């Protein structure tokens, strides 16, 4: 992958140009069932916004957002590969995504309780969320 911008070693790219199925291999860590490689690319291709973190040409993190293009935005996915965690890359991905989404009234996401502090630092608030999963549809 090429064409990213950013400071230092880590670059941030705002589209999926150059992305291959192999680039998505390390992601969806810990999911009981992971989307198949081709589907992973589809997810990003069909998102309204995507930000990819790169070390050189290596994809090391990403986040995406879907919207109604009017009022509401949702951030379904955020992941940084384990070797690159705790270096501020996750924070940077969310900051950049929130900047992209700053004109939306509502920007929502769901997370585990342990990440409450991470998202609070980024200006987000805790609410009660409700979810449904169709485990046969991944
Ligand atoms: C969550 C995640 C994206 C954070 O990425 P990162 O690059 O490590 O994030 P940063 O380095 O910017 O910030 C890490 C901060 O979050 C906290 N944090 C990250 N993961 C945490 C966890 N699982 N439990 C508790 N705190 C966590 C760290 O303690 C750190 O806090 P600090 O700023 O006080 O040091 C990364 O841990 C990850 O990919 N996790 C697996 C996927 C996931 O949970 N995604 C979130 C979906 S909502």
Is the CB–ligand 1 distance for residue 28 below 6 Å?
no
**How many domains are there within the chain?**
1
4 within domain boundaries: no
pLDDT digits (tens, 9 = 90+) for 75-120: 999 999 999 999 999 999 999 999 999 999 999 999 999 999 999 9
Distance between CA atoms of residues 100 and 2, nearest Å: 21
The CATH number of the domain holding residue 129 is 3.40.630.30
Band of residue 1 on the pLDDT scale cut at 50, 70, 90: low
Distance between CA atoms of residues 112 and 132, nearest Å: 15
pLDDT digits (tens, 9 = 90+) for 40-53: 999 999 999 999 99
Distance between CA atoms of residues 90 and 99, nearest Å: 14
Q: Which two tokens stand for residue 66?
A: 């879907």
- Longest CA pairwise span in the chain (Å): 42
Q: Give residue for tokens 């992305």.
A: 19
Ligand 1 center to residue 63 CA distance, Å?
Answer: 13
Ligand 1 center to residue 112 CA distance, Å?
Answer: 11
72 within domain boundaries: yes
Containing domain of residue 24, as a range? 10-137
5 within domain boundaries: no
Band of residue 9 on the pLDDT scale cut at 50, 70, 90: confident
pTM of this prediction? Answer: 0.91
């Amino acid at each position: 992958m090429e064409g990213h911008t950013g400071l230092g070693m880590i670059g941030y790219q705002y589209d999926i140009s150059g992305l291959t199925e192999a680039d998505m291999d390390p992601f969806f860590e810990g999911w009981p069932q992971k989307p198949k490689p081709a589907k992973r690319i589809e997810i990003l291709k069909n998102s309204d916004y995507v930000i990819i973190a790169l070390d050189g040409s290596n994809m090391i993190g990403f986040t995406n957002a879907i919207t109604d293009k009017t009022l509401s935005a949702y951030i379904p996915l955020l992941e940084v590969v384990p070797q690159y965690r705790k270096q501020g890359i996750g924070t940077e991905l969310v900051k950049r995504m929130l900047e992209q989404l700053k004109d939306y009234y509502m920007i929502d996401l769901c997370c585990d309780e342990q990440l409450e502090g991470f998202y609070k630092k980024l200006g987000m608030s805790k609410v009660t969320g409700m979810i449904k999963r169709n485990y046969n549809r991944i």
